Amino acid sequence: MTRDERQKEILQILRTFDSPVSGAALAERLGVSRQIIVQDIAAIRGRGADVVSTTRGYTAKPQASRVFKVSHSDDEVEEELTMIVDEGAAVEDVFICHKVYGEMRGELHIRSRRDIRDYLEEIASGKSSLLKNVTSGYHYHTVTAESEDVLDLVEEKLRKRGFLAPLQDYEPEELIKQKI
């Protein structure tokens, strides 16, 4: 695991747990010394993440989150996901809003190009197809990032590429209020 991968993992752990995580627990889980964890926390803070030290360990404030409605071909899945993770964001899920069946959701937790590769290999090797194909390519992703600025960059890239899709009147009200 590279230093950058380890720091991303630390931040993910801190955002996942409701209570503080000790430096010793992080060090043990990641197979490094506690001093390396202290250095990594300093670097993470230096990049703007809001990591707080407490007497019981480290915590991270919740990250920014946004839902994007997108549409593209099966051949463009890798491109779409890569655009998102290359901006430093994560694709937490994929879901659709079907007129008859309602909302159907699958957890993804894609944070890297390796995660994308693993996901696409799993889809290719199974008998399942992409959830987006149930709704003619239209689907949603919950995307998380360290800040709203990163989400703005993701939105801009998706828009420029033509992946953002317009919302319809039957879709959930909280999505219709978004500026997509």
Q: Which domains does the chain have, with CATH numbers?
A: 3-60 (1.10.10.10), 64-176 (3.30.1340.20)
User: In this model, does residue 173 exceed pLDDT 80?
Assistant: no
Return the pLDDT at 38: 95
| pLDDT, tens only, 2-56 | 999 999 899 889 987 778 899 999 999 999 999 999 999 999 988 878 888 888 8
Distance CA 81, CA 72 (A): 11
Q: Which of the four pLDDT bands, split at 50, 70 and 90, describes residue 174?
A: low
User: How many CA within 13 A on the CB side of residue 64?
Assistant: 15
Distance CA 113, CA 173 (A): 32
Distance CA 162, CA 135 (A): 18
Residue 10 CA to its chain's centroid (Å): 15
Confirm if 119 and 171 have CB atoms less than 8 A apart. no
pTM over 0.75: no
137: left (phi over 0), alpha (psi -120 to 50) or beta: left
